[in-house]
């Protein structure tokens, strides 16, 4: 039988967990299984220096368990940097549940998952991610207090997506200011890829400011709905990466910035919500820099959602949340300038600031 290969790694030759590229110094990885409910979940705790590891739970029909493990490790590492750069006293973690969220999710399965989260005694705090809704977090809340993003009627902060969308808008404005010299998006042509929860809010803010928005989505119904509601144009071209636009906003999937797409891109700014947009951080960050495309690091500008759930943990007000989310504008601008001064990619500059904060805290301990 052929060895399974993930990202060019022959799994027969490497240690299956500690040896994975994405393992990157994880503190703890927890495998959760329950025969009765069919639960198969993995919780990744990447780093808890700044505080308890917080990150959402994703339910996805992974093609293999390796793919699920790789995903949770990459996402949980990303949360460490996101929480650190946003200035939150939180470490990075994430969970994945293997299965189809539409057909395999049940209240029993969510409660069983919640019990596993509870068994970690607050070292990991969960929230919603792809395949999860606020009501699922309400179910998890029945068995553990280590969950955020529960319904407002239960004292929670509700759906984080509108706050995420607002933060991405702020990051986009900062990147536009840096590249075009003006922070208004009026008259700018912007392509939004994926008009789900976050994408729609982003479209709304851009349209309110007078930007011209083109949208793409694999869901035709959704495309028509968002187009009608916000006056956005459905992108008609064959290849979205060749679109003649000023700004490209990936709000659907990760890894859309890669060898193939960078060559085609005409946009001068990339600012969107999707996690892990660069297929390979160093290589593709550098290729963007060489091409003069300004990249607003995803983990920096999509932090609105985590700011929202952090406020729930700390009892902050809605105004506090919006103020802190608005500050993504200042942080983004600062990092873009810093990257230029130090002649490094924006991704690297942002990660360095986050890592410095973690190292400083570690040294204080």
Task: Say if CB 181 and CB 336 are below 8 A apart.
Answer: no
Residue 219 CA to residue 194 CA, distance in Å, equals 9
Regarding 322 and contact with ligand NAD (CB under 6 A), the answer is no
Q: Please name which of 224, 249, 94, 228 lies closest in space to residue 164, comparing C-alpha atoms.
A: 249
Could you say whether residue 194 binds ligand NAD (CB under 6 A)?
A: yes
| Distances in whole angstroms, Cα of residue 277 to Cα of each of 135, 281, 322 | 28, 9, 25
- Can residue 302 be called a binding residue for ligand NAD (CB under 6 A)? yes
Kindly write out the interface string for residues 141-170 of this chain, putting x where it contacts ligand NAD by CB under 6 A and - elsewhere.
Answer: -------------------xx--x------
- Binding range to ligand NAD, per CB under 6 A, among 83-91, 116-124, 176-184, 250-258: 250-258
Q: Do residues 94 and 150 lie in contact, with contact meaning Cβ atoms separated by under 8 Å?
A: no
Nearest-approach distance from CB 149 to ligand NAD, in angstroms: 9
Contact pattern from residue 269 through residue 288 relative to ligand NAD, giving x for each residue in contact according to CB under 6 A and a dash for the rest: ----xxx-------------
- Distance in angstroms between the alpha carbons of the first and the last residue of the chain: 49
DSSP string, 207-230: HHTT-EEEEE-S-HHHHHHHHHHH
Asked if 134 is part of the footprint of ligand NAD (rule: CB under 6 A), the reply reads: no
Taking CB under 6 A as the criterion, the residue among 71, 217, 246, 312 binding ligand NAD is 217
Minimum distance of ligand NAD from residue 283's CB (angstroms)? 21
**Residue in 181, 207, 170, 176 with CA at minimum distance from that of residue 192:** 207
Q: Catalogue the active-site residues.
A: 94
Which residue lies nearer to ligand NAD by CB, 158 or 285?
158
Q: How far is the CB of 107 from ligand NAD (least distance, A)?
A: 21
Interface with ligand NAD (CB under 6 A), residue from 203, 206, 251, 311: 251
DSSP secondary-structure letter at 50? S
Tokens representing 185 are 């998006």
The CB-of-216 to ligand NAD minimum distance in angstroms stands at 5
Of 69 and 195, the one with the shorter C-beta distance to ligand NAD is 195
Of how many residues is the chain composed?
Answer: 365
Q: How far is the CB of 251 from ligand NAD (least distance, A)?
A: 5
Nearer to ligand NAD, 92 or 194 (CB): 194
- 338 belongs to the binding site for ligand NAD (CB under 6 A): no
Q: Give the whole-angstrom CA distance, residue 301 versus residue 190.
A: 16
d(CA 37, CA 230): 42
Quickly count: other Cβ atoms within 10 Å of residue 28's Cβ.
Answer: 15
Q: Does 208 bind ligand NAD (CB under 6 A)?
A: no
| DSSP 8-class letter at 34 | E
Site residues, ligand NAD (CB under 6 A): 130, 160-161, 164, 193-199, 216-219, 222, 251-253, 273-275, 302, 305
């Amino acid at each position: 039988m052929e060895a399974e290969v993930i990202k060019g790694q022959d799994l027969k030759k490497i240690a299956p967990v500690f040896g994975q590229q994405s393992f990157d110094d994880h503190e703890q990885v927890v495998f959760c299984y329950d025969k009765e409910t069919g639960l198969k979940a993995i919780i990744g705790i990447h780093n808890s220096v700044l505080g308890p590891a917080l990150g959402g739970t994703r339910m996805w029909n992974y093609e293999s368990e390796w793919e699920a493990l790789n995903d949770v490790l990459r996402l949980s590492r990303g949360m460490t940097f996101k929480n650190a750069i946003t200035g939150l006293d939180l470490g990075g973690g994430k969970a994945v549940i293997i299965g189809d969220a539409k057909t395999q999710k049940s209240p029993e399965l969510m409660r069983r998952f919640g019990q596993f989260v509870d068994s970690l005694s607050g070292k990991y705090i969960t929230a919603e991610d792809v395949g999860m809704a606020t009501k699922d977090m309400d179910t998890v809340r029945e068995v553990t207090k280590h969950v955020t993003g529960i319904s407002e009627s239960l004292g929670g902060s509700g759906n984080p997506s509108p706050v995420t969308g607002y933060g991405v808008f702020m990051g986009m404005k900062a990147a536009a200011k840096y590249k075009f010299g003006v922070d208004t998006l009026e008259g700018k042509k912007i392509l939004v890829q994926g008009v789900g929860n976050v994408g729609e809010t982003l479209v709304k803010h851009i349209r309110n400011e007078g930007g011209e928005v083109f949208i793409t989505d694999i869901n035709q119904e959704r495309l028509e709905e968002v187009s009608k509601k916000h006056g956005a144009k459905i992108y008609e071209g064959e290849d979205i990466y060749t679109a003649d636009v000023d700004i490209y906003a990936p709000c659907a999937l990760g890894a859309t910035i890669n060898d193939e797409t960078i060559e085609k891109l005409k946009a001068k700014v990339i600012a969107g919500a999707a996690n892990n947009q660069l297929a390979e951080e160093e290589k593709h960050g550098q290729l963007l820099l060489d091409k003069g495309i300004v990249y607003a690091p995803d983990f920096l500008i999509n932090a609105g959602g985590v700011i929202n759930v952090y406020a729930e943990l700390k009892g902050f007000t809605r105004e506090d949340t919006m103020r802190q989310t608005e500050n993504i504008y200042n942080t983004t601008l600062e990092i873009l300038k810093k990257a230029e001064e130090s002649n490094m990619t924006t991704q690297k500059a942002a990660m360095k600031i986050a890592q410095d904060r973690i190292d400083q805290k570690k040294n204080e301990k």
